[in-house]
Structures are given as structure tokens and as C-alpha cells.
Amino acid sequence: MSDLISLIGVFVFGVLGWITYKIYIWPVYITPLRKIPGPQSESLFLRNIKRLFTEEDTQLKWIQKYGNVSKFHGIFNQPTLLISDTRIIQEITLNHVYDFIKPPHLSADAIAMEMIPVSVRVASILKSLIEDKSKPRRT
């Protein structure tokens, strides 16, 4: 019985240690983005995301205050780059497209999955219009 309790204790402490590492230690002390300037976080979990949705022109204020390359913290303290320099954006999106990690919601599969319901609806409308045009009109 004591082996089970100690095993559960090790598991719980391991999970807590992993969460602490991912949310606090890595983003604050280890990430290569730690030296890039950016706004301070306000909340433990939402960080700067809350400010993005509640204040107007938040990103523009950050660009004016911190420059063309800055960072903010997303949900669970995930560091995120904010880049407004067109030359850097061109370098990332055209010249080194496979060297940079993209968020999953920007992948081609995610975009295609969002477009499928729209495509089905448009196809249905077009089909009904074509069928209506092909039917002889009664006068």
C-alpha cells in the first residue's frame, strides 16, 4: 500500500514540476525570447491576451513603445513574437518559411477544414440556382 502512495506522490510531484517548468521556468529563464522587450504580464494564466481583447489598439501601442520586434506572453505564459517590420516578415514568410514554427491554427489543414462547410454551402446554392435555370418556366 505504501508503494502505491509513494508512486502516486512521485507522479503528482512530477506533474507539478513539469507544469512549473512549462509555465514559469522555461518562459522566464530559458527561452531565447527572454531578452526581447515587451509588456509585463498582468495575469498568471491569461498574461497579455486579456489586454489584447479588452483594450483598443494594443498591438499598435506595443509597437510604438517596444519597437518593430517585441514579445508578449500568451495563455499559460507562452512567449509570442510581435513583428511589424516588413523586411523581417518577408524573410520569415518567403525565404525561410520552413525554419519557423507556425501556430496550428494557421496550418493549411486547419484553413481547409474551416473552408469545407463554406464550400459545401456555396456548392448547394449554386446547384439550386443551376437547377432553377434549367427548369422550363411556366407562364
Q: Are both 7 and 61 inside the same structural domain?
A: no
For residue 110, give the C-alpha cell: 486547419
* Residues of the domain holding 9: 1-30
Let me know whether 45 and 95 are in one domain. Answer: yes
Determine the residue type at 106.
Answer: L
Q: Please calculate the CA angle 35-75-100 and round it to the nearest 5 degrees.
A: 55
The number of distinct structural domains making up the chain is 3
Please check whether residues 64 and 114 belong to one and the same domain. no
Instruction: Let me know whether 81 and 115 are in one domain.
Output: no
Are both 11 and 55 inside the same structural domain? Answer: no
**Residues 8 and 57 both lie in one domain:** no
Q: Which helix (H) or strand (E) holds 81?
A: strand 79-83
Q: Are residues 22 and 44 in the same domain?
A: no
> What percent of the chain clears pLDDT 70, i.e. is strictly above it?
83
Q: Are residues 59 and 92 in the same domain?
A: yes
Is the sign of the CA dihedral 3, 21, 74, 116 positive or negative?
negative
**Burial class of residue 58 in the structure, from the number of CB atoms within 10 Å of its CB (0-12 exposed, 13-18 middle, 19+ buried):** middle
Q: Clarify whether residues 121 and 91 are in a common domain.
A: no
pLDDT of residue 94: 85
- Cell triple for 65: 513603445
Domain check: are 72 and 111 in the same one? no
- Predicted confidence at residue 108, as pLDDT, reads 62
φ/ψ bin of 60: left (φ > 0), alpha (ψ from -120 to 50), beta (otherwise) = alpha
The pTM score is 0.61
Q: What is the pLDDT of residues 58-109, one digit of tens each?
A: 899 999 999 999 999 888 888 888 999 999 988 888 888 788 777 666 666 6
- Whether residues 71 and 118 fall in one domain: no
CA atoms within 13 A on the CB side of 43: 11
Same domain, 115 and 80: no
Contact 16, 10 (CB under 8 A): no
